[in-house]
Amino acid sequence: MNHVLTHFHQAFQTGDGESSGRVHSAREFASIINRERDRTDRTGQEFSLVVFATGDGSRRSASLRNFVAILAQRIRPTDDIGWLEDGRIAAALPHTIPDGAWKFVENVRRILGENTPATNCTVYTYPSRWITRTGGESAQGGPSDKPSPSQQGIPSPKMNHSSIESGGPAQPLGVLGPHFLQPIPFWKRVIDVVGSLVAMILLSPVALLVALFIKIASPGPLIFRQERVGYLGRRFTLWKFRTMHVNADTTVHQKHLRELMASGKEMAKLDNGKDERIIPFGSIFRATGIDELPQLVNVLLGEMSLVGPRPCLPYEADGFLPWQMRRFDAVPGLTGLWQVSGKNRTTFREMMALDVRYAKKPALPLDVWIFLKTVPAIVRQASDQPFFADARAKIFSIVLRVGTVVLAVLTLNKIHK
């Protein structure tokens, strides 16, 4: 089948690389899909993608040529036709809801007539909220009328999206991510593997000391495992050193996170104050990122990267607006653009804007810049914690008292002389 598709693809190409009959190559069509996603993020107007899988009749070659010609006749000037990486052909329909896309399909099928082999098709829509569950199934969200942020660099308000239900009229475009997203750069994977292995070796004494301390300070397992949402919405198990008591109440965090997502407050952590769920010195491990050392295993397994958006919790992703799902276009990381751009001093909306910005344009110089800024950012974050502030206050008090005593002694000696 592939050589037949290649034959037809070449038949619709002109010598200068432009598409004749408005049929684009897989690479060109991927750029078009991303262009329409960006347009939808700006305008809030939905677009649909109709994907066709042609039949395998005896007149396959002739029927495919005829089918592509019919598609070219039925599309509007604003629409585009192109190939997907797996050989299927698709039509991108801007400003079109799923119902409109299905009317387009009905028109195409009516023109094809009964003498043409059956054509299977699927309608995908963007924006739509979706998360890939374990095993690759899509957890599809319903409609939302929540406005997206209106600040600069964040998409237009009143972003609506179609209801995606099991057996419904359309599927979320996100499940086609591998067809239009740039593959993970080879250089990034090499850096992740080499960097995680080197870090494991160099930081192994620190990890052993932390593990020993946790074992002494708090009964229970050393490692805390938690389901997170990663690349393309796929779920995975994240590893951390346990810094909370066993069976700690997580509803407190859920409530706090919902409040941050709904308001314009800064992303302050719960443990910035006194959190009884935290084990002794757990706040120090969390503020310095030491508790995240086991995530080097996640990096080595390819579930995370050294640099990328932080992997979110499933209940956090459930509250995302459609445009915020773009953060899943990138592999989650140990550090990222948000972490070195203010982190807890930013709002939730600002954090999402930074994550989406990184996901759209990953680059080696940017990763290097983020990596170099990480250590100063950790030092700044740790210094903002209450226990470090208390320590600074105590040190200042001691220095002041010692200075006062020394000054008094010198004054008395001078008077005595």
Per-residue DSSP letters for 343-361?
Answer: GGGSBHHHHHHHHHHHHHS
Phi, psi (degrees; rounded to nearest 5) at 47 = -135, 155
- Averaging pLDDT over each range in 86-90, 151-155, 351-355, which range is the top one? 351-355
Confidence of residue 402 (pLDDT cuts 50, 70, 90): low
Across the chain, mean pLDDT equals 79
Confidence check: pLDDT of 223 > 50: yes
- Averaging pLDDT over each range in 128-137, 171-180, 285-294, 385-394, which range is the top one? 285-294
**pTM (predicted TM-score):** 0.74
Confidence of residue 400 (pLDDT cuts 50, 70, 90): low
For 246-304, the DSSP string reads TT---HHHHHHHHHHHHS--B---GGGS--TTBPTTHHHHHHHTGGGTTHHHHHHTTSS
Q: Looking at per-residue confidence, does 31 or 397 come out higher? A: 31
- Alpha-carbon distance of 1 to 18, in angstroms, equals 24
Q: Looking at per-residue confidence, does 7 or 347 come out higher? A: 347
* pLDDT digits 0-9 by tens, 344-378: 889 999 999 999 999 988 899 999 999 999 999 88
Confidence of residue 160 (pLDDT cuts 50, 70, 90): very low
Of the given ranges (149-158, 182-191, 275-284, 325-334), which has the lowest mean pLDDT?
A: 149-158
Report residue 352 as tokens.
């999402």
CATH, range 2-180 = 3.30.70
* pLDDT value at residue 4: 39
**3-state SS, residue 167:** coil
Confidence of residue 133 (pLDDT cuts 50, 70, 90): low
* pLDDT digits 0-9 by tens, 252-292: 888 888 888 888 888 877 665 577 888 888 888 888 899 99
The pLDDT of 36-47, averaged and rounded, is 89
Q: Is the peptide bond before 376 cis (omega within 30 degrees of 0)?
A: no
The pLDDT of 131-160, averaged and rounded, is 41
* pLDDT value at residue 132: 57
* pLDDT value at residue 213: 92
Of the given ranges (3-7, 30-34, 391-395), which has the lowest mean pLDDT?
A: 3-7
HSE of 374, CA atoms in CB hemisphere, 13 A: 17
Q: Say which DSSP state 46 is in.
A: -
Confidence check: pLDDT of 41 > 80: yes
Q: How many CB atoms lie within 10 A of CB 78?
A: 12
Residue 58's alpha-carbon distances to 5, 69, 116, in angstroms, are: 15, 19, 11
